[in-house]
Amino acid sequence: MSIIKPFYGIRPIKEKVAEIASPPYDVLNSKEAAQMAQNNPNSFLRVVKPEIDLPDDTDPYSDAVYAQGKANLHRLIDNGLMVQDSEACLYLYRQIMEIQGKSHSQVGIVAGVSVEEYEQGLIKRHEFTRVAKEADRTRHVEELNAQTGPVFLTYQANLVINEVVAKRISNEPTYDFTASDGIRHTFWVVNDAAEIDVLVRAFAEVPCLYIADGHHRSASACTVGKKRREANAHHTGEEPYNHFLAVIFPHDQMMILDYNRLVFDLNGLDEEAFLNAVSEKFNVSEANQPKPSKAREFGMYLNEKWYRLSAKAGTFNESDPVESLDVAILQNNLLSPILGIGDPRTDERIDFIGGIRGTKELEKRVKEEGAVAFAMYPTSIEQLMSIADAGEVMPPKSTWFEPKLRSGLVVKPL
């Protein structure tokens, strides 16, 4: 089953929602966040990346940073810019994005999801977390006594849930605004007890949930929940710390873009030697189109020319859900053995570029600072769920989800 829980959300007043809502903390560095929030004192970036209000040389993990985040959240509340709902609610959140000439729409349910189900593996993971990042978000939740950034979850689409959602979004929304990046965000409050009960019961029939994005937020929320559970002699399981903030989308509405690679040098090889080495594991040909048209094909940009690489038979295990991923095929047959990129998590000779930036960005980066770039075919949501079901972990930088969830539309207090 999948437990979802209504909660007493803290939300912006309607007049301020577009001003407050911000990108999530992990898609901008501190400098970019400071620039974005420069002329907006109410930006939620000041809550999720509070170091932007402190001197440039401030340690982002210092006590002062978390204290600043707490102060900034309380200022929004104390000034009446964010107000807590008087009853426990669920929420619906729709995003509409124009991309490559097409309109993409997705509608998720905003709810508390179960810490215990996460611990039991019923909220399934597909990535490892980094200790420092997890500790940072844990401290953030503890100090603010709230979950400020939602986890992005998905599930196998369910007809009953679809019907309830379709009916609700035909009504007038609570918020409806278009952000500076052109993405439209629409938000409904679900406070009808009968409607909430239908959704809760429908999710009880959903076997499991999958983390699409937000592994560190999930892990940190659960760390806080465990600590508070162990410290509470009168723990009942109904306390707010038992559930963490999530937006849950049906799998057939998810959009995964390519997550491309840039390598800064050819590991001591000249162009001819490099191409000869690549051709041992890949069929190589010049290409008119940068993007690959199917799985197990790759676009490669080298010396102002695009090539198409196609993995040769026998170079990967087709029956292994991880080894047969395009990112694994490229890593195991080219990046590691030819270019010497052994651990892409830590190697400073490689960078990763989300597909939202397009192949022109790959060309630009190679011309400015790199040696070769690779355009990937997107990982599918079915591949992600298959790997999570198998209890396996995806290689780093396998998926790039769009659109990103805004932070600050609703906060879940603990």
Alpha carbons 156 and 154: distance in angstroms, whole number? 7
Residue among 47, 157, 179 nearest 109 (CA): 157
Residue 232 and residue 330 in one domain: no
Report yes or no on 201 lying in a domain: yes
271 and 239 within one domain: no
Domain range spanning residue 176?
Answer: 4-255+402-413
The tokens for 403 are: 């659109």
Query: Do 54 and 153 share a domain, yes or no?
Result: yes
Verify that 324 and 227 share a domain, yes or no. no
* Separation of CA 103 from chain center: 20
Regarding whether 284 and 250 lie in a shared domain, the answer is no
Asked if the structure places residue 395 within a domain, the reply is no
Question: For each of the chain's 414 residues, which pLDDT tens digit applies?
Answer: 999 999 999 999 999 999 999 999 988 889 999 999 999 999 999 999 999 999 999 999 999 999 999 999 999 999 999 999 999 999 999 999 998 788 999 999 999 999 999 999 999 998 888 888 899 999 999 999 999 999 999 999 999 999 999 999 999 999 999 999 899 999 999 999 999 999 999 999 999 999 999 999 999 999 999 999 999 999 999 999 999 999 999 999 999 999 999 999 999 999 999 999 999 999 999 999 999 999 999 999 999 999 999 999 999 999 999 999 999 999 999 999 999 999 898 899 999 998 888 899 999 999 999 999 999 999 999 999 999 999 999 988 899 899 999 999 999 999
Instruction: Give a yes or no: residue 161 inside a domain.
Output: yes
Instruction: Give the span between the Cα atoms of 259 and 375, in whole angstroms.
Output: 8
- With b for 16 or more beta-carbon neighbours within 10 A and e for fewer, the 392-409 pattern comes to eebbbbbbbbbbbbbbbb
Evaluate whether residue 188 is within a structural domain: yes
Contact (CB, 8 A) for 146 and 414: yes
Asked whether residue 144 falls in the same domain as residue 166, the answer is yes
- CATH number of 263's domain: 3.30.1760
- Whether 211 and 278 map to the same domain: the answer is no
Structurally, the chain folds into a number of domains equal to 2
Letter string b/e over residues 210-230, b meaning 16 or more CB atoms within 10 A of that residue's CB: bbbbbbbbbbbbbbbbeebbe
Which helix or strand (DSSP H or E) is residue 83 part of? Answer: strand 82-84
Does residue 156 lie in a domain region?
yes
- The answer to whether residue 386 sits within a structural domain is no
152 and 281 together in one domain: no
Give the residue from 197, 177, 196, 198 showing the smallest Cα distance to 186: 177
Q: Both 185 and 69 in a single domain? A: yes
| Of 380, 359, 362, 373, residue with least CA distance to 291 | 359
Do 12 and 55 share a domain, yes or no? yes
Residue whose token pair is 């002062």: 64
pTM of the model: 0.90
How distant, in Å, are the alpha carbons of 42, 153, 215, 260, 400 from that of 355? 30, 20, 21, 6, 7
According to DSSP, the β-strands at 175-178 and 151-155 are unpaired
Regarding whether 304 and 357 lie in a shared domain, the answer is yes
Element spanning 36, H or E: helix 30-37
Q: Is residue 383 part of a domain?
A: no
**Residue 281 and residue 243 in one domain:** no
